[in-house]
Amino acid sequence: MTQTQKIDRTVTGNYFEDFKVGEQIVHATPRTVTVGDVSVYTALYSGRFAVQSSDAFAQSIGYPRSPIDDVLVFHFVIGKTVPDVSRNAIANLGYAEFRFLAPVYPGDTIASTSDVIGVKQNSSGKNGTVYVRTTGRNQNGEEVLSFARWVMVVKRDLDAPAPETVIPELDKTVSPETLGKALPPLKLTVYDYGLAGSPRRWDDYAVGDKIDHVDGQTIEEAEHQMATRLYQNTARVHFNQHRESQERFGRRLVYGGHIISIARSLSFNGLANAFHVLGLNGARHAAPSFAGDTIYAWSEVLEKAELPGRSDAGALRLRTFAVKDRNCADFPGLMEDGQLEDGVVLDMDYWVALPR
């Protein structure tokens, strides 16, 4: 009787000991973005920024047509990286040097690569931190997004030797002088503030302003899974209830990017003209979210800056907190000891552009 040899043709993802500083990972499955993707994204989050909602509005102020929502671009770029970078991750720990570099339009094809820029095994010997710099490019090879992130990844072989520790030096904040490449010159004489939803421009905000975005959005099981599939994010913690029922929380976790999209959508109420995300200084997923949680958000203006060579738009640095099952009328965020208050699930520091 002939014995059949088992040949492994499936992909299990990289474990901590598989990452080598200096290697470049080319991620599979380029993605052509369609108006169908935009429609599904709008249905999931109800984004109302006029530039991303109306071709006519976008064309009137200088775009060739409505660009793809910046956060959706991020989801597509990072979604490509999950099978190779974070399939076996315990946690996504942070982001840095995050810049949108060119607008993306329906019909563009996005592909991602990641360069391994650092590794550090943790003291337990069971896992370690992997640092990568990911770049998203369109079909012409033009960079549309670049960012560094670091994730905690488990080891396959606990006896594998620890690699030499390499921790990259990363900027704590993104300089506004390096931002704005994805923003075309704006025709402010025809910018319709009534259609945009608010008369407030860059000059109308001051450092220290706190904005309660008022509205809340309850996470539905089907919706957060549909969103994560839309981005082709294959992380098992979001989909496999059989597996997750045996883990710490006993249920599927909501993808952290889903919370970012909810918070960004909620921010329209109070920041309706902040239609373009320029870059991200950092984001912390402070606590897990699950279906049934209701997300609220509020923002504080941390800084104002001019964009180099531009008089049509300025930059606001915002710190947005997303909070579950608690409205934000009292601006829940940091306590006196520097710890986050109960209920805070996202602490995000980023730059947006507004007309001047």
pLDDT tens for each residue of 114-137: 999 999 999 999 999 999 999 999
- Looking at domain 19-156+163-355, its CATH class is alpha beta
Q: What residue segments make up the domains of the chain, in order of their start? A: 19-156+163-355
Long-range contacts of 63-69 (CB under 8 A, 24+ apart): 63/103, 63/184, 64/105, 65/105, 65/106, 66/38, 66/105, 67/103, 67/104, 67/105, 67/182, 68/33, 68/37, 68/38, 68/103, 68/104, 68/105, 68/106, 68/108, 69/38, 69/41
Find the distance separating the first CA and the last CA of the chain, reported in whole Å. Answer: 80
C-alpha–C-alpha distance, residues 169 and 160, integer Å: 26
Q: Say if residues 196 and 50 touch (Cβ distance below 8 Å).
A: yes
Return the pLDDT at 100. Answer: 97
C-alpha–C-alpha distance, residues 197 and 187, integer Å: 17
Angle in degrees, CA 235, 289, 173, rounded to 5 = 80
Q: Model confidence over 125-172: pLDDT tens digits?
A: 999 999 999 999 999 999 999 999 999 999 999 999 999 999 999 999
Mean of pLDDT values over 180-202: 95
pTM for this prediction = 0.93
User: Judging by beta carbons within 10 Å of its beta carbon (0-12, 13-18, 19+), is residue 301 exposed, middle or buried?
Assistant: middle
Q: Model confidence over 265-274: pLDDT tens digits?
A: 999 999 999 9
Q: Model confidence over 39-89: pLDDT tens digits?
A: 999 999 999 999 999 999 999 999 999 999 999 999 999 999 999 998 888
Contacts of 280 (CB under 8 A, 6+ apart): 95, 98, 147, 174, 348, 349, 350, 351
